[in-house]
Structure 1
Amino acid sequence: MSFLDSQFQHLVPYVPGEQTRTKVIKLNTNENPYDPPQNVIEAAKEAAKTLSRYSDPTCLQVIQPLAKHFNVAPENIFLGNGSDEVLFFLFQGFMEKGVQFPDITYGFYEVYSDLFHLKTEIISLKEDLSIDLAEYTGEATVIIANPNAPTGLMIAPEVICTFAKNNPQRLIIVDEAYSDFSEASLVPYLEAHPNILVVGTFSKSRHLAGARLGYAVGSKQLIEDLNKLKFSHNPYSVNAMTLACGEASLQAQDYVDECTQKIIATRNWTQQELQKLGFETTNSQTNFVFCQHPTVAGETIFKQLKEKNILVRWFNNPRIANYLRISIGTPEEMATLIQAIKEIEGVDI
């Protein structure tokens, strides 16, 4: 017998990429393949000594250096328990007139819109898998991942700014989980466009997927309203060890940048090698590649790679059922992946 409220009985929860402790090459959840910087590890150890006390609800030890990193004021920064919590508050409190997002994008958007019973319009990507903002009409809040996942494609900031300027009464949320691997961010444009809010994460380029630290950058009013929701829910949602790790990460920017450039270089190499094997790839601006083979089904490659202890992501979605999303690992891991793909029957060598 279920005691769950009937309004939630229908929910279809988000399905994360497979997690495993067995020895595999794990290329299915877009994690950073490199260890956190040493000062982050040391900061976590030191913070562990304070776990008998509540964490600082103001999160200033991260907000202040993050604001400096983005060249904004601390009042323009919000911190949450991963970007998923930031998105949770946005769907909960900023979409009274409804929400619009693409049909192929981060799966939590649809989960949250269902959870909060929002008026939702899901707009199809174009045939080339790009987002056409001209199709986002009306008054609803718009949320897009830029670069988008799982396609890896991005919209130029100028295009989004023009859209925001032409729709001043609409909130435009830009989820920049992967922006550090791309050509641009919307953060430098926020002062001129107070109806744009940027959401980001420490999970990808900053090596902290397991720490759960996300943020939003936007106008003072937007950040105040986000904090109103957070402090009505859980003021201590960002724990002390995560705050310490986030602060240390911002002190190790050179290492973060070095690893990011390694990932970009490995991504470009991987795309070229896949193309040599007959794969079609999108112009990914992320830490993953999105690809399909013209004659071998994506599900087939996914299953055969798993038999070789290599995990990639396959989505059971008719529009992209032939595609694979492959996270970028170390150069050695990606070389092993390419060799494994060469051994799959039907792949051109």
Structure 2
Amino acid sequence: MQSLEPYTAGEQPKDKKYIKLNTNENPYEPTPALQDALKNARSLRLYPDPLAAEFCEAAGKANGLPADHVFAGNGSDEVLALAFKAFFDSPVLFADITYSFYPVFCEFFKIEFLLVPLRDDFTLDAAGFLKPNGGVAIANPNAPTGITLELKELQTILDYNLARKRVVLIDEAYVAFGAESAAKLIPQYPNLVVVRTLSKSHALAGMRLGYALAQPHLIEGLRMAKDSFNSYPVDSLAQAAGTAALRDAAYYEGVLSRVVDTRTWFVRALTEMGFRVLPSKTNFVFAGHDRIKAAELFKRLRDRGVLVRYFDAPRVRDFLRITIGTDEDMQKVAAILQEILS
């Protein structure tokens, strides 16, 4: 275990009040329907439903799938970890710039992996995944770039791996902010697993609730992996909250629309200041400026009470990842950036 390099989460400082734009949390409150749902949740003296049946039914309905196509977990990170354990052999393929938990899972489960380089414009090269492998993991939209792979390109990866009986995992943590979901492909592809979180789109980061969508034989594989670690990973309150959230689609359509509208004008403001901003379909932007190093800009923003995310890694050292907050927050950030650059 001494050689294991764990995932590094975004900082959560308590020394003063910050505009917190470093962990891609939703700036708006979850649906008011949660209040009644939590009051009526299953008694906490009882164990929760190990299958989270009511939540799975709601998640399935929200995605046009039966409940037996859904698996619930204690956040999407747990679902991803169980999927790596249940479905992947060496070597797993994933992008060289993507969610940094993937190599951690591989190290922990002793699975070898190969990195598929993104193109120079940070788009994902589907052809790089058309080679022998023990499984494929793709964040779509990708993180931290925010760029989306079109479904027709994804299908070429699915077709290649279906013929070789290899699982393709699509991590859709940010899909609700403007990208097209691969969930519609599940009836067609028995090798497809789509993973979602309620942390970003449904403003439930504090609840830790995620789920997978797949055909029933893959869902059963996830349940077997789950029951080898923890039979009751999703507590009763999280199940009740998640179910209420998924059933209130109208409320969240409004929330998501506000985030996307804010992203649109903030990207325009950054571009006018001379930033290079990658095209984003997420609740964050990935941006850099030729006149100031990203590490220095990160420090200056922090000194002024703004937390963003800096990745000291090859190819992305010139960029900052900035979560989209409220209009008020982003107007303050835009003004601070203008001040720093001037």
TM range (shorter): over 0.9
Decide whether the 8 Å contact of 2:183 with 2:194 is kept in 1. yes
Bigger mean CA offset, 165-174 vs 277-286: 165-174
Shift of 1:117: 1.2
Q: Deviations over 1:113-140 (max 9, x none)?
A: 1111112111221111111121121132
DSSP-derived class of the 2:94 partner: strand
Q: Measure the CA separation in 2 of the matches of 1:171 and 1:233.
A: 22
1:98 to 66, 91, 97: 91
2:153 to 146, 159, 163: 159
Q: Measure the CA separation in 2 of the matches of 1:65 and 1:13.
A: 33
Which residue in 1 is equivalent to 2:241? 245
Shift of 1:243: 0.4
Shift of 1:98: 2.4
Q: Counterpart of 1:92 in structure 2: which amino acid?
A: K
Q: Measure the CA separation in 1 of the matches of 2:328 and 2:206.
A: 23
Q: What is the RMSD computed on CA atoms of the aligned residues?
A: 1.2
Unpaired stretches in structure 1, ≥5 consecutive residues: 1-7
Shift of 1:340: 0.5
Decide whether the 8 Å contact of 2:117 with 2:125 is kept in 1. no
Which residue in 1 is equivalent to 2:25? 31
2:221 to 225, 229, 240: 225
Shift of 1:44: 2.5
**Identity rate of aligned residues, in percent?**
39
Q: Measure the CA separation in 2 of the matches of 1:305 and 1:41.
A: 36
Which residue in 1 is equivalent to 2:5? 12
Are 1:173 and 2:169 matched, yes or no?
Answer: yes
* TM-score normalised by structure 2 residue count: 0.96
Decide whether the 8 Å contact of 1:146 with 1:153 is kept in 2. yes
Shift of 1:74: 0.8
User: Residues 203-214 of structure 1 correspond to what in structure 2 (within 5 A)?
Assistant: 203-214=199-210
Which residue in 1 is equivalent to 2:141? 147
Q: Deviations over 1:301-320 (max 9, x none)?
A: 11111011110001111311
1:116 to 109, 118, 122: 109
Q: Counterpart of 1:269 in structure 2: which amino acid?
A: W
Q: Measure the CA separation in 2 of the matches of 1:232 and 1:305.
A: 44
Q: Counterpart of 2:13 in structure 1: which amino acid?
A: T
Unpaired stretches in structure 2, ≥5 consecutive residues: none
Are 1:333 and 2:332 matched, yes or no?
Answer: no
Decide whether the 8 Å contact of 2:21 with 2:324 is kept in 1. yes
4+ aligned runs moved over 3 Å, structure 1: none
Q: Deviations over 1:149-173 (max 9, x none)?
A: 0000010111111221132122111
Q: Deviations over 1:200-249 (max 9, x none)?
A: 11011111011001110011110011111112221111001100100110
DSSP-derived class of the 1:229 partner: helix
User: Residues 1-349 of structure 1 correspond to what in structure 2 (within 5 A)?
Assistant: 8-21=1-14, 22-47=16-41, 50-136=43-129, 137-168=131-162, 169-344=165-340, 347=341
Q: Measure the CA separation in 1 of the matches of 2:181 and 2:213.
A: 11
* TM-score normalised by structure 1 residue count: 0.94
Count of matched residue positions in the alignment of Structure 1 and Structure 2:
338
